[in-house]
Structure formats: C-alpha cells, structure tokens
Amino acid sequence: MKRTKVKAVLQTAPEGQEVLVKGWVRTKRGNKYVTFIAVNDGSTIHNIQVVADMNLFTDESLRDITTGASVSVLGTLVQSQGKGQTVEIQARTIEVLGTADPETYPLQKKGHSLEFLREIAHLRPRTNTFGAVLRVRHAMAFAVHQYFNEKGFFYIHTPIVTASDAEGAGEMFRVTTLDPVNPPLTETGEVNFAEDFFGRSTNLTVSGQLEGEVVAMALSEIYTFGPTFRAENSNTSRHLAEFWMIEPEMAFYELEDNMDLAEDFLKYLVRYALDNCQDDLQFLNDMYDKELLNRLNFVVGNEFQRLTYTEAVEILKTAKQKFEYKVEWGTDLQSEHERYLVEKHFKKPVILIDYPKEIKSFYMKLNEDGKTVRGMDVLFPGIGEIIGGSQREEDYEKLVARMREVGVPEKEMWWFLDTRRFGTVPHSGFGLGFERLLLFVTGMGNIRDVIPFPRFPKNAEF
Ligand code: ATP
Ligand code: MN
C-alpha cells in the first residue's frame, strides 16, 4: 500500500478507509485500554493521532514506540472522539522502523532553548519550531521564483568562485588548492597564486551583482538566488558567514522603479507566507511573538516610507532617544538608528535613498549634487537593513573616475567596464538577504535559527 502524508490524511474525510502513514513519534500516552501515539512526518506542523486498542496490542509490542522513534502505521481513518483533532487512525499494525533510546535521545523532552538546539543542529529539524521555520523557508524560496517568473525575469546562476574582490576586500574566503604548509613562492617570497588551480587568486563570491549586471545588459530583467559568503567577523544575530541572497538586476530601471519593485516584491512574499503558511505562522506567533501576524499584515497593507539619507539624519539628530553611536551627516547609519526610524519614528518600513557616496559602493550612480549616490536601503522593523540596492552608474567615464578614487582595480574589471562601453543603459538592482527576510516572516530573533546549518565564526560542525 502507498503511504499517505500526514498533511493529506488530516484533510481527508474519515470514512473508515485504510491508510498507511510513516513518521516519527512525538508523544505516547494512554492507559490500560488504549494508547495514543502522536506521529509527525514533517509535511505539516500537526500530528496524526494513532490509537492503539490494547485488546489488539500489548505493552510489550509497543515498548519501542518512544519519542523520536520512526514508525509505519497501517490502520483505518476515523472521526476522532477526542478534542484537538478531527481525524485519527485506528491502528491495525504498527511497525517500528528505528528506535530512539529514551535515555540518550536529546529531544526526549519538549521545551529546549533555541541555544541548546543550535548545538544539535542535526536533530533540530524534528522540533515543531524548526519544522515550521524550514517549511516557511521553502515557501519563501518558491515564492521568489514564482514572483519573478510571473514578471518575466530570468533566473541566472552566477559563479560561486570568483576572481573579482572589488566589493568586499578583506571579507572574502579564499579558494585555493595550494599546499598551505609549502605553497609555491614568487621571487619576492610571496605566495605565487599563478600556480594555483585557476592560475590566479580566487575567492567565494560576496554577491552575484556584477555578473548579474552583465546578463541584464542582454536579457533586460534577471535575478540571481544563490549562496554568498562573507568572512566578516560579525557575531551578530543578523549576520551569517554563508547566507543566501536574491539579487534582481533590471535594464532601463531608475531608482524610483527599483524602489517600486523592492516594495512590491517584499509585500508579495509576505502575503504569500500569510496565504500559504498559516499553520506554521500561527504556531510561531503563539510560541514566540504574539505580534508576528499583526506585523506581517501591517507590512502588506501599508506604503513604505521613502526619504533621503539627509532627511533621516535630521530626524535622528533631533531625536529624544540616546544612541550609542553619534549621527553626523556622512557617517554610516548603525542598526540602532535604522530601527529608531522604522520602529519609533515612522512605525513602518522605510526606504532610505541618496546616501553620501563615501559610505556606498563605487558602482552607484552619482547624483547631480556630486556628493550623494542613488543608493537605497530598505529597513524593516526588528531587523534594520533587509535590502540594499541602487541605480548603477552607467556612464563609463564617471564609473572609471569613481573606481580610481576608491582604488578598485580597473584592469581586472575590464569585463565589467565593457558593459558601459557597449550599449550601456540606465539600470538598477538590489540584494535581499534571504535569511533577513525569514527573520521577519518567522519572527525568530536570531539569524542562526532560520537556516538549517548556520555558518558563523568558529562554527561549521554540521
Ligand atoms: P549590513 O550593513 O547589515 O551588514 P551590508 O550593507 O553589508 O549589510 P549588502 O552588501 O548591501 O549588505 O548586502 C545586501 C543584503 O544582504 C543586505 O541588505 C542584507 O539583507 C543581506 N546581508 C548582508 N550581509 C549579511 C550577512 N552577513 N548575513 C546575512 N545577510 C546579510
Ligand atoms: Mn547594504
């Protein structure tokens, strides 16, 4: 007989039909007449209740059915007598596929802290919390592709190993096959990367943007969705060393169009979660954050506040709140400032634009004032920056001038500069940190809890 997933079983009208379910035991309880076994197979946050009539089973035959054990249950689907569920399975046979010794199974008891669960990242998908988070994660990934597909954007795979270190000098992971003990040396005693696998020094990518721009100059509207790596030693609840980023890049888009897309995209994703992840979001709302659903609904239903960096600095300078870091025009805003604007001042998502050029990347388009660039950051409650983007500098001369100013190696970037030499057009794009999005949608407080196997300083065990 074919197995039915628990999610489907729970949606089936019970007419005493035969069903086969397989999954992991969450709880077992009962008395001498009957034993109740809650089985979960990850298809939904809900368990199916399996009822074992003790006229048919013995304590001995159910001995190995303990929390964490895997079982295969054959029985009939009936209306549930008890509260809390509509259907249940009257078991005919229960086969234990794998035992889980109660003495040593780490998830024997409920209610472990998220910190503890991080130490058993290989088992935490079996908890309600991580099951919910991982299902929402899947739904959001799917929605990303659906959104762009509906809009005629093409999904582009940009390289993971790159030679350009234009963006994040010093924050990159080196990729090499050279012997770390005895590397080949140049005449001046430096490691000779000409002898490395690619004949040059290479790194893991920090962003697919530059390659994305190249393809957007042919297919008009593209997006990337892949892993990115940053060796920044920031041990915060919002940074990972390996995270996933969605980077749309659009020919013929100006900053205004870019903002419209970012806002529409984020609202689409949140709406998709509300429509398709109700059970999981309700669980997360009840367990961790009673304001979660309100917040999600609020974001979907309200316009984002758009203002310039300069206006934001004025607001922050006259704010009553004491900040750890002082705000001056020209300094980068800290997370505390971003969150003040979003959570206290405007009480809604904010898009900040026109940043001082000194604190933004070389490729952003210079404004007429010569001081600011057409960058945009989308700031979200509880998170701060969720999206960073810009209109790109499409003028060859201006771009080169800017590269020289900040010391980006022109020679290595010849292929990128070619986009401005041949058929250049105004274009824009942005990067959405997938895990930052998930922080917002799930209401989890730490970015390490929205990715199955988090990578952060001193941690790559699982
Ligand atoms: P932040 O200032 O928060 O460190 P950033 O300005 O370095 O971020 P960008 O280079 O603009 O980030 O990257 C685009 C997006 O990628 C950010 O808006 C954020 O959502 C996400 N992001 C950046 N760094 C990380 C990280 N270390 N871990 C997870 N997400 C990140
Ligand atoms: Mn940024």
Which atom of ligand 1 is closest in space to residue 232's alpha carbon? 27
Q: In terms of C-beta density within 10 A (0-12 exposed, 13-18 middle, 19 or more buried), how is residue 41 classed? A: buried
Average pLDDT, the chain: 96
pLDDT computed for residue 81 by the predictor: 83
Asked if residue 167 has pLDDT above 80, the reply is: no
Q: Which residues are found with C-beta within 5 Å of the ion, ligand 2?
A: 388
Asked if residue 34 has pLDDT above 80, the reply is: yes
Which atom of ligand 1 is closest in space to residue 167's alpha carbon? 10
Question: What residue type is assigned to position 184 of the chain?
Answer: P
- Residues within 6 Å of ligand 1 by CB: 230, 239-240, 243, 245, 385-388, 431, 433, 435-436, 447
Residue 365 is assigned to a structural domain of this protein: yes
Which atom of ligand 1 is closest in space to residue 240's alpha carbon? 28
pLDDT computed for residue 164 by the predictor: 74
Q: What is the CATH number of the domain that holds 87?
A: 2.40.50.140
Residues 226 and 305 in one domain: yes
Which atom of ligand 1 is closest in space to residue 431's alpha carbon? 14
| C-alpha 20 to ligand 1 mean position (Å) | 46
**CA 269 – CA 143 distance, rounded (Å):** 6
Residue 431 is assigned to a structural domain of this protein: yes
| C-alpha 386 to ligand 2 mean position (Å) | 8
> Phi and psi at residue 308, in whole multiples of 5°?
-85, 160
Residue 182 is assigned to a structural domain of this protein: no
Give the 3-state DSSP-derived string for 250-264, with helices as H, strands as E and coil as C: EECCCHHHHHHHHHH
**CA 154 – CA 13 distance, rounded (Å):** 42
What would the two tokens of residue 432 be? Answer: 């959405």
Residue 118 is assigned to a structural domain of this protein: no
Residues 141 and 13 in one domain: no
Confidence of residue 166 (pLDDT cuts 50, 70, 90): low
**Maximum Cα–Cα distance across the chain:** 86
**CA 128 – CA 134 distance, rounded (Å):** 10
386-435, pLDDT tens digit by residue? 999 999 999 999 999 999 999 998 999 999 999 999 999 999 999 999 99
44-58, pLDDT tens digit by residue? 999 999 999 999 999
Domain of residue 425 covers 125-171+206-449
Residue nearest to atom 29 of ligand 1 (CA): 239
| C-alpha 206 to ligand 1 mean position (Å) | 10
Residues 269 and 145 in one domain: yes
Question: What residue type is assigned to position 264 of the chain?
Answer: D
pLDDT computed for residue 322 by the predictor: 92
Portion of the chain with pLDDT greater than 90, in percent: 94
What would the two tokens of residue 109 be? Answer: 């008891």
349-364, pLDDT tens digit by residue? 999 999 999 999 999 9
| C-alpha 446 to ligand 1 mean position (Å) | 15
| C-alpha 80 to ligand 2 mean position (Å) | 52
pLDDT computed for residue 165 by the predictor: 66
Residue 61 is assigned to a structural domain of this protein: yes
**CA 39 – CA 30 distance, rounded (Å):** 15
Residue nearest to atom 27 of ligand 1 (CA): 239
Q: What is the mean pLDDT of residues 138-166?
A: 94
pLDDT computed for residue 82 by the predictor: 78
Q: What is the mean pLDDT of residues 127-136?
A: 98
Residues 335 and 213 in one domain: yes
* Count of domains forming the chain: 2
Asked if residue 169 has pLDDT above 70, the reply is: no
Residue 71 is assigned to a structural domain of this protein: yes
Residue nearest to atom 12 of ligand 1 (CA): 388
Residues 136 and 77 in one domain: no
Residues 237 and 362 in one domain: yes
296-307, pLDDT tens digit by residue? 999 999 999 999
Residues 93 and 133 in one domain: no
